[in-house]
Amino acid sequence: MNPVMAVTRRELRSYFVTPVAYVFLVIFLVLSGILTFYAGDFYGRNQADLQPFFVMHPWLYLLLAPAVSMRIWAEESKGGTLELLLSLPLTLAQAMLGKFFAAWLFMGFGLLLTFPIWITVNYLGSPDNGVILAGYLGSWLMAGSFLAIGACLSAVTQSQVVAFILTMVVCFLLILAGQPQVMDFLQGSMPRRLLNALAHLSMLRHFEAIARGVLDLRDLLYFVLSIATWLIAGVLVLDLKRTP
C-alpha cells in the first residue's frame, strides 16, 4: 500500500475510535445550523442562497480546525510514538501528507453532513446551485489551509494546548489581514506596496470571492500554495527536531 494512503487510513480511523470525533461533528453541525438560520438571519433576508451559511465558516474553522489539528504531531511527540512512526519505511513528507489528508477528509466529512441545509434552501426557493457548490469548495479549501497551519505548528511543540493557541492566533491574523479596518489602521505606517501584499494574504478575501461563485485561478492557487507552504514548513520543523 502507498505509504501516504496507509498513514491516512491509520489516522482517519483514529479519529472515530474516540468520542471526540463525534462531539466535534455534533458541535460543527449544531453551530452551522444556529449561525445560519438565526445569527445569519436566513429567513429574514428572503433570498434563496447560502451566503449566511458560508460567511460563518471562517469563524467556525477558527475554533474547530485548531482543535482537530493540534493532535497531529503534538500527540505523537508527547506519547513517544513519533520515533516509532518515523522508523517505518516512509519519509517525513509522506507522514505529513498522510496525517494532513486524514484531518482534511475528516473536516470534509463534517462539511458534507451539512447537506440538509442545501436541501432546505432548494425546498424554499430556486438558488444558484453552482454558486453553492463553489462555496462548499472554497470552504473545504479554507479548512485545508487552517489544518495545514495547525499541522505545522503542532510539529513545533509537544503541547496540544500550545499548538491550539498558536494555530488560532495565526489563522485569526490571516483572516484579519486585508480587512478595511486593518488597512485603514496601518495605512499611515506602512508603504502602499506592503499594504497591497498584506491584502493579498487575506484568507477571508480569497474565500469570499470563491463563495460568491467566482472561481478565479488566483484564489484557488492561494489556498493550494498556502497548504503546500505550511506542510513543507512542518516537514522542515520535524527534520530539524529529528536531527541530533
Mean pLDDT value across residues 208-224: 89
pTM value?
Answer: 0.89
Taking 60 as the threshold, does the pLDDT of residue 1 lie above it? no
Taking 90 as the threshold, does the pLDDT of residue 228 lie above it? yes
Closest to 102 (Cα-Cα) out of 162, 17, 175:
17
Helix (H, G, I), strand (E, B) or coil at 54: helix
Mean pLDDT value across residues 222-240: 93
Number of domains in the chain: 1
Average pLDDT along the chain: 84
Residue-range definition of the domain harbouring residue 47: 3-242
Closest to 208 (Cα-Cα) out of 99, 120, 135, 143:
135
Give the E-state strand segments of 84-232 in sequence order: none
CA distance 73 to 76: 5
CA distance 68 to 218: 28
For residue range 28-65, what is the model confidence (pLDDT) as tens digits? 888 888 887 776 666 666 777 788 888 889 989 998 99
* Identity of the amino acid at 140: W
Residues with Cβ within 8 Å of 149's Cβ and at least 6 positions away in sequence, in order, are 69, 167, 170, 171, 174, 230
Residue 112 neighbours by CB distance under 10 Å:
11
Taking 90 as the threshold, does the pLDDT of residue 86 lie above it? no
Instruction: Pick left, alpha or beta for residue 215 (phi over 0 → left; psi -120 to 50 → alpha; otherwise beta).
Output: beta
For residue range 52-61, what is the model confidence (pLDDT) as tens digits? 888 889 989 9
Give the whole-number percent of the chain exceeding pLDDT 90: 31
For residue range 92-123, what is the model confidence (pLDDT) as tens digits? 899 899 999 999 999 999 999 998 888 888 88
